Amino acid sequence: MIKKNQEYSLPHHNLSDKQKDKADIELKKLRFERLKNIGAEQKIYSDLISLKYNIIDYLELGLFSEKFKFSEYLKKYVSIVNISRRNLASDLGTHETKFSRIINDKENPGLGFLYRIEEHSNSILPASLLWQLVNRKMIREIENDKTEKKKQSKLVKNKLNLRIA
Amino acid sequence: MFIINEISNEKIKVSISEIEVNELEKLTGFQFDWENEIDFEVFKLYSKKSNEIHGLISIARIFEELRIEIRLIELSKVNIGSKRKFSRIAGILIAFACKEAFSNGFYGFVSLIPKTRLIEHYQNKYGFIQFGKHLAVELKSSENLMNKYLSND
């Protein structure tokens, strides 16, 4: 008896080759019918879902890579949505210059910008996910910015003098 | 993504990766003839900590039709039945196929042919719909499965 809360393996269907061919031909026909009705909106939706899970997979790795910075994903977003950078900047209520700095990785986006991307993408790309992406790069910047670290350390008084046994 | 220990309710982090040929040859706790699937893509679902394999899936990518066909799914012996050790294994494997179907530009379209007694199960539990003898999910239904089974929450 099949129970709703159980999970089951999917064994081989045991159709004959002839039956399988017939089933495949039928599916192929139905599939092509379906594909005829796929519009631009569904293409954008699908590509954004793929983009989202690409971000998730990258974040899972726990590494930083130049190829997977927020600015690179923003470029992909522009391409998927098939909109000019100027128009996207306008849609996001962001000045073109600022948008250009963000997409060219000269400036990190703020939370407000990420909320707007979430809204623009119909919530497919959550701000919380994009923030993790931004943070991944910021952590790398913090670790590598010896100049700033040195500059800031000079402003510190009474540094803890810990002797660890 | 995670599976759930059915006794302790603990979430166990898992990963999916393609299984090596030598791993297939040494498999224990699985009954299907997985060596027959060597010409297709076989992925394993395993615990990150212990490397224990909980489930397997074999898929075929049919580029001409923009679809992925799930050929086989098998849960390991200890994960079958009312006294199963972990849950969510089959769901994760199906959702993984959906993710691949989006990555490939297939609009998330995933098909399979279940035995008759499992048709309603796939329709009710995972949202598959009939395409002749095949069942399939796509677009929003596939996304729903991915959100349910591939998230970390």
Complex ipTM, two decimals? Answer: 0.90
Distance from CA of B76 to the nearest CA of A (A): 9
Q: Is A121 helix (H, G, I), strand (E, B) or coil?
A: coil
Judge contact between B139 and B106, C-beta under 8 A: no
What is the structure's pLDDT at B151?
Answer: 87
Q: Verify whether the Cβ–Cβ distance A14 to B115 is below 8 Å.
A: yes
Evaluate whether B62 touches B79 at the Cβ level (below 8 Å): no
Model confidence over B92-151: pLDDT tens digits?
Answer: 999 999 999 999 999 999 999 998 889 999 999 999 999 999 999 999 999 999 999 998
Per the prediction, chain B carries an average pLDDT of 93
- Is B61 at the interface with chain A, CB within 8 A? no
Q: Of the candidates A4, A9, A42, which has its C-beta nearest B73's C-beta?
A: A9
* Encoded tokens for A82: 């098939």
Other beta carbons within 10 angstroms of residue A83's beta carbon come to 15
Burial class (CB in 10 A: 0-12, 13-18, 19+), A128: exposed
Taking the CA of residue A70 and the nearest CA in chain B, the distance in Å comes to 19
What confidence score (pLDDT) does residue A165 get?
66
* A16: closest CA of chain B, how far (Å): 13
List B14's β-bridge partners, or say none: B47
The H or E element spanning position A44 is helix A40-61
Among B74, B134, B146, the residue to mutate for chain A (most A Cβ within 10 A): B134
CB of A86 closer than 8 Å to CB of A125: no
Chain A hits for B63, CB-CB cut-off 8 Å, are: none
Give the gap in angstroms from C-alpha A48 to the nearest C-alpha of chain B.
9
Q: In this predicted structure, what is the pLDDT of residue B24?
A: 85
Q: What is the pLDDT of residues A73-94, one digit of tens each?
A: 999 999 999 999 999 999 999 9
Under 8 Å CB-to-CB from B67, ≥6 apart: which residues? A31, B101, B106, B109, B110, B111, B136
User: Are B90 and A7 inside 8 Å of each other by CB?
Assistant: yes
Residue A31, chain B, CB below 8 Å: the answer is yes
CA-closest candidate to residue B107, choices A117, A40, A122, A24: A40
B100: nearest Cα among B86, B89, B111, B114: B111
Q: Which positions in chain B touch A23 (Cβ < 8 Å)?
A: 113, 132-134
What is the band of B27 on the pLDDT scale with cuts at 50, 70, 90? confident
Q: What is the per-residue pLDDT across A5-22, written as a single tens digit (0 to 9) for each?
A: 778 888 888 889 999 999
Interface test with B, best of A31, A35, A38 (most B CBs within 10 A): A31
Chain B: closest CA distance from residue A3 (Å) = 8
- Sorting pLDDT into bands at 50, 70 and 90, what band is A163? confident
* Rounded Cα distance, A28 and A22, in Å: 10
pLDDT tens digits for A104-151? 999 999 999 999 999 999 999 999 999 999 999 999 999 999 999 999
Instruction: Centre a 10 Å sphere on the Cβ of residue B50 and count the other Cβ atoms it contains.
Output: 9
Query: B131 vs A27: CB contact, 8 Å cut-off?
Result: yes
Both tokens assigned to B108: 């998330």
